Structure 1
Amino acid sequence: MEDWYVIYTKSGNELNVKYLLDTQLADENVRVLVPRRKLVERRKGQKVVTLKTVFPGYVFIYIDMNDVNYYRIVEIPGVIGVLKNDYYPVPVPADEMKVVLSLTEKSEVIDYSTVVYIGGFVKVIDGPLKGLEGHIIDIDKRKHRARVRISIMGEPRVVQLGVQQLEGAMDDTDKGVESL
């Protein structure tokens, strides 16, 4: 039975592991996912769009996790292991994977969301964060980033995602988006 699983890798090695999984498991019904996000960074005074991994050290794989496939995966260079209980690999719960898949439904690269400030509140009106207002921790207007809490395998993870077109007014008192 096919399900989504988490593979541990060395941080920064996710795309190499994805490539190796895609090539070595091409004969299987496999989907490998490394969610990345667009961020604006400043380098030498210039704004540059970069891609960063959303979950460093994690690669998601949709596969029939039998013994043969498990050993094929753990023998791939760069793979540290597969998330498991004491003995067997544990699939990612469907409700948690639904959030990750909704962020990456168009591609593995999570694009910007459009955010509007209304008083002390934030409203996401477009993009992959639409409908996740309750999970936004805070927004850094200068860096055009939102910190968002996402639960993966029952553990809360805080990820940074890019936001675009910050509209409305936000002053220094508009902090603490956590309460949304």
Structure 2
Amino acid sequence: MGELKWYVVRSVSGQEKKAKQYLETEIHRHGLDELVPQVLIPAEKVYEMRNGKKRVRERSFFPGYILIHADLSHGEVDHIITTTPGVLGFLSDKEGKTANAKPVPLRMSEVNRILGIVDETEEQPAALEVPFVVNETVKVIDGPFNGFSGTVNEVFEERKKLNVIVKIFGRAQPVELSYTQVEKEQ
């Protein structure tokens, strides 16, 4: 048995999860679980506000790419991987040229950095992905000012807060709100 190394497989962008499921199914069906023990999509959890509700979704670090821990010394393994639906092929040293293009394994330093990012996101709470801009109109959806509309005056990205100017009884009042308390007005 050869050595297990990490490889990058290109997939149809936006279809990484489906390609990963197909890969895992094909690997299991051919009994190659020891030769390909892990298929991974590096992703992070992010919050987003949709219709006044806070939702968590996963965002891929590398859209269109999947990491595979595999032993490619057996000829059938790379063939099964590359013929799986949704998989475009391995990232190789001769990108674009299919003749004699060999899959290039990732360096361990790269793998550790990528896996480190993945491991950190498992422990961290999801990051909020709603970059607000100054002078943007927002609607308050939570807290004592629920239902009011206002204009973003300042953005405190590190604290995930906004300074919003809200009109209360006809007077402009600055109010500090969390990203999760407001949504962009359509």
TM-score (norm 2): 0.57
Q: Does 1:74 align with 2:88?
A: no
Q: C-alpha displacement at 1:167, in angstroms?
A: 5.0
Preserved CA contact (<8 Å) 1:37 1:111: no
Q: Does 1:58 align with 2:65?
A: yes
Matched AA of 2:48: E
Deviations 1:60-111 (A, max 9, x none): 000001322111111000101101123211001110110111122378x574
Aligned residues: 125
Alignment of 1:14-163 (within 5 A): 14-26=16-28, 27-28=31-32, 29=34, 30=36, 31-66=38-73, 67-86=75-94, 87-105=101-119, 111-112=124-125, 143=131
Structure with bigger gyration radius: 2
Map of 2:13 onto structure 1: 11
Q: C-alpha displacement at 1:50, in angstroms?
A: 1.5
Root-mean-square deviation (CA, aligned residues, Å) is 3.2
Matched AA of 2:85: P
Provide closer, same or farther for how the CA distance between residues 99 and 79 of structure 1 changes in structure 2, counting only shifts above 3 A: same
Provide closer, same or farther for how the CA distance between residues 48 and 88 of structure 1 changes in structure 2, counting only shifts above 3 A: same
Deviations 1:143-179 (A, max 9, x none): 49xxxxxxxxxxxxxxxxxxxxx559999xxxxxxxx
TM-score (norm 1): 0.59
3-state secondary structure, aligned to 1:112: coil
Matched AA of 1:92: L
- Taking the aligned partners of 2:13 and 2:117, their CA distance within structure 1 comes to 21
User: What percent identity do the matched residue pairs reach?
Assistant: 29
Structure 2 residues not aligned, in runs of 5+ = 95-100, 133-157, 164-186
Provide closer, same or farther for how the CA distance between residues 21 and 168 of structure 1 changes in structure 2, counting only shifts above 3 A: closer
Matched AA of 2:77: N
Deviations 1:94-150 (A, max 9, x none): 10110111122378x574379xxxxxxxxxxxxxxxxxxxxxxxxx89649xxxxxx
- Taking the aligned partners of 1:45 and 1:168, their CA distance within structure 2 comes to 17
